[in-house]
């Protein structure tokens, strides 16, 4: 019988984060009282001025094809944002608008990777990184980073895996699932290696604005012109502007990379939604006070979750400096049994706590770290409080 499905798809695994969230939502729809710490999605509505811009775009007839790389006014707005927020100078032809930051990364990998190329993926990683590398027909090369470094990649760890086939390195700051933020010094040591070996940096900065404790986001592209030329900067509207369903991301890189991405995008999707592009333009040009209010609320939730977790026996965690997640070490409960379920892995824990305590969490195996679970605090304080009560009772 003919092989009717491509091998590249057979070697991929489905998104566990989406699967857990879907399972939780299904149980909720059945009337069960489920508290979900799963979704990496703001619980806020898209700000009204952004909604209005999308509606106005429809009413004004901005519903036709746009350039493959996105409308010029939005690319110019992204360039202004990058200069204002990050001190980076990009021209409009060094920017492409994509259908979400996930699409940005996937298209970038297709633009730069050949079969046999290697892409360095620090562990823990966002769930889709390895699968998108496989989809580009390159090979993910995993580095097990250390909890004592907040799971951030070090120069020694990076040097240990570089080969002549290394094409790119993932940097995610603030990171998912850890919430770790890279310092300038940490980025400088990685940049030096990337420049020496001529390796692309795929810098995923989607959580850039969700940062706390007076920490400052630094894009690796700001360090010098050499590393800027090798940086593929990924960002978007989903997390900071509560626009997950709108699907709008963007990429800034050297002209050759953007040109290659535009070729792919033109054939793959033509262009991102015209309506979403005008909404994103309003988001970037609008008053960010609403965004700042959301960040303050996330910080309150983070502080509460951290305080509670400190007082739950047998749980430890990595202190989050950004994003809206806490990575929790559950290894001290391994070997225990709940309702005839023996807990020997993060997936066992996630299944047991969903069945027994009606709490949905993401097992760490989805991110390459099986001793952990990920909790999202992108939900209300009331639900966080009740959910942590259930977790505490479950662990006891």
Peptide bond into 174 cis (omega under 30): yes
Query: What is the model's pLDDT at position 28?
Result: 80
Tell me the torsion sign for CA atoms 125, 183, 248, 230.
negative
Residue 181: CB atoms within 10 A of its CB come to 24
With beta carbons less than 8 A apart as the criterion, state whether 63 and 274 touch.
Answer: yes
C-alpha 396/C-alpha 332 separation (Å) is 12
**DSSP secondary structure letter of residue 312:** S
Render 331-385 in DSSP notation, one character per residue.
GGGTTEEETTEEE-SHHHHHHHHHHHH-EE-EEGGGGT-TTEEEEE--S-HHHHH
Of 325, 58, 82, 304, the closest CA to residue 180 belongs to: 325
| Nearest partner of 198 among 169, 223, 233, 218, judged by Cα | 169
Residues of the chain with pLDDT under 50: none
Query: Residue 15 has what pLDDT?
Result: 76
Q: Which residues contact 218 (CB under 8 A, 6 or more apart)?
A: 173, 182, 183, 184, 187
CA distance 341 to 225: 55
Per residue, what are the HEC states of 116-146? CCEEEEEECCCCCHHHHHHHCCCEEEEEECC
**DSSP state letter for 147:** G
Instruction: Concatenate the DSSP letters of all residues of 351-365 into one string.
Output: HHHHHHH-EE-EEGG
User: CA–CA separation, 182 vs 257, rounded Å?
Assistant: 25
pLDDT at 65 (0 to 100): 97
> From CA 306, how far away is CA 169, in angstroms rounded?
31
pLDDT of 233 reads 98
Residues 323 and 174: beta-carbon distance below 8 Å: yes
100: β partners: none
CA 183/CA 202 separation, integer angstroms: 17
Q: What is the pLDDT of residues 303-325, one digit of tens each?
A: 999 999 999 999 999 999 999 99
pLDDT tens digits along 337-366:
988 889 999 999 998 999 899 999 999 999
List, in sequence order, the alpha helices (H) in the chain: 7-10, 16-29, 48-59, 72-86, 101-112, 129-135, 155-159, 184-197, 225-230, 255-268, 274-285, 289-310, 346-357, 381-395
Yes or no: say if 315 and 330 are a contact pair by the CB < 8 Å rule. Answer: yes
What is the distance between the alpha carbons of residues 167 and 271, in angstroms, rounded to a whole number? 27
Q: Give residue-wise pLDDT tens across range 113-160.
A: 999 999 999 999 999 999 999 999 999 999 999 999 999 999 999 999
CA gap 162, 194 in Å, rounded: 10
Q: What is the pLDDT of residue 20?
A: 75
Per DSSP, the three-state class of 314 is: coil
Tokens coding 92: 């409009």
Instruction: Domains for the chain: give ranges and CATH numbers.
Output: 7-45+290-395 (3.90.1150.10), 64-285 (3.40.640.10)
From residue 17, alpha-carbon distances to 22, 23, 291 in Å are 9, 10, 25
- Rg (alpha carbons) of the chain, rounded to whole number: 21
pLDDT for res 341: 81
Residue 210 has a pLDDT of 97
**Does residue 109 come out as left (phi exceeding 0), alpha (psi in the -120 to 50 range) or beta?**
alpha
Structure tokens at 53: 């811009």
The residue length of the chain stands at 396
Helix (H, G, I), strand (E, B) or coil at 82: helix
């Amino acid at each position: 019988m003919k092989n009717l499905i491509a091998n590249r798809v057979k070697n991929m695994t489905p998104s566990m984060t989406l699967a857990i969230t879907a399972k939780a939502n299904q149980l909720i729809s059945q009337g069960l009282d489920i508290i979900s710490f799963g979704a990496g999605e703001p619980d806020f509505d898209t700000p009204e001025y952004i909604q209005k811009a999308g509606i106005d775009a429809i009413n004004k007839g901005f519903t036709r094809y746009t350039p493959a790389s996105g409308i010029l006014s939005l690319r110019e707005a992204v360039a202004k944002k990058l200069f204002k927020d990050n001190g980076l100078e990009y021209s409009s032809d060094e920017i492409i608008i994509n259908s979400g930051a996930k699409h940005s990364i996937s298209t970038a990998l297709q633009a730069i990777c050949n079969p046999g190329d290697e892409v360095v993926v620090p562990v823990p990683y966002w769930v889709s990184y390895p699968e998108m590398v496989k989809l580009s027909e390159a090979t993910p090369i995993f580095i097990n980073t250390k909890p004592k470094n907040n799971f951030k990649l070090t120069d020694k760890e990076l040097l240990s895996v570089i080969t002549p086939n290394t094409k790119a390195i993932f940097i995610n700051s603030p990171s998912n699932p850890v919430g770790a933020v890279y310092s300038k010094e940490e980025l400088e040591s990685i940049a030096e290696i990337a420049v020496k070996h001529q390796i692309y940096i795929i810098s995923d900065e989607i959580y850039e604005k969700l940062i706390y404790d007076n920490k400052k986001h630094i894009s690796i592209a700001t360090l010098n012109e050499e590393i800027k030329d090798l940086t593929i900067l990924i960002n978007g509207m989903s997390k900071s502007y509560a626009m997950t369903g709108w699907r709008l991301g963007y990429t800034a890189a050297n002209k050759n990379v953007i040109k290659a991405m535009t070729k792919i995008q033109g054939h793959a999707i033509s262009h991102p939604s015209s309506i979403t592009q005008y909404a994103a333009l309003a988001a970037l040009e609008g008053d960010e006070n609403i965004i700042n209010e959301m960040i303050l609320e996330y910080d309150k939730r983070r502080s509460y979750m951290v305080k509670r977790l400190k007082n739950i026996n047998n749980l430890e965690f990595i202190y989050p400096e950004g994003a809206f997640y806490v990575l929790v070490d559950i290894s001290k409960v391994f070997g225990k049994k709940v309702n005839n379920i023996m807990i020997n892995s993060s997936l066992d824990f996630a299944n047991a706590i969903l069945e027994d305590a009606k709490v949905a969490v993401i097992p760490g195996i989805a991110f390459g770290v099986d001793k952990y679970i990920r909790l999202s605090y992108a939900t209300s304080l009331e639900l966080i409080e009740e959910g942590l009560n259930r977790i505490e009772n479950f662990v006891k």
